Amino acid sequence: MKLLAFEMRWLLAITVAILPSGAHERLADGADRVPMRDFYDDLLVRAPLRPMLGLRAAVWLIALSPPFMMRRARTFGGLAAAERAGLLAALAGSDIYLVRELPLLVKTMALMGYGAMPRVQRAAGVEYEPPAPPVWLRKRDTE
């Protein structure tokens, strides 16, 4: 499965809101400074269809939720960074199970990719070196 270009932009904006740069002193590089798009491109091709459809649904829910959650005629991408974080917190606190859990799916996927990056692991103090980097990281020379 592939996402449309605007869906990928939405997913990356959500990922940056979940994993911002400088949020922790040891993890200076956030999602905007690592190859998350390569991770998502690989994930969408290799993972089973049902979870990826759930990821797509979660992206749509988050991207289009500001008018309903914040009473603002904007998409997620049109919000300031602090507003994005607040919206994600509001969605996580929803009484509606599906609304509460779909953002968690995006967070889980984002953390899987982010945590697989050797430089993130080193910054976090993880000493494990995999025998080979993930396929999606081999496209880059940045590691």
Q: What is the pLDDT of residues 81-108, one digit of tens each?
A: 999 999 999 999 999 999 999 999 999 9
User: What are the distances in angstroms from CA 41 to CA 2, 4, 36, 90, 128?
Assistant: 7, 11, 9, 28, 25
> What are the tens digits of pLDDT across the range 5-56?
999 999 999 999 999 998 888 888 999 999 999 999 999 999 999 999 999 9
Look at residues 19, 100, 5 and name the one whose alpha carbon lies nearest to residue 62: 100
Q: What is the value of pTM for the model shown?
A: 0.89
Two structure tokens written together for 8: 């990928």
Question: Cβ(108)–Cβ(18) under 8 Å?
Answer: no
What pLDDT does residue 139 have? 67
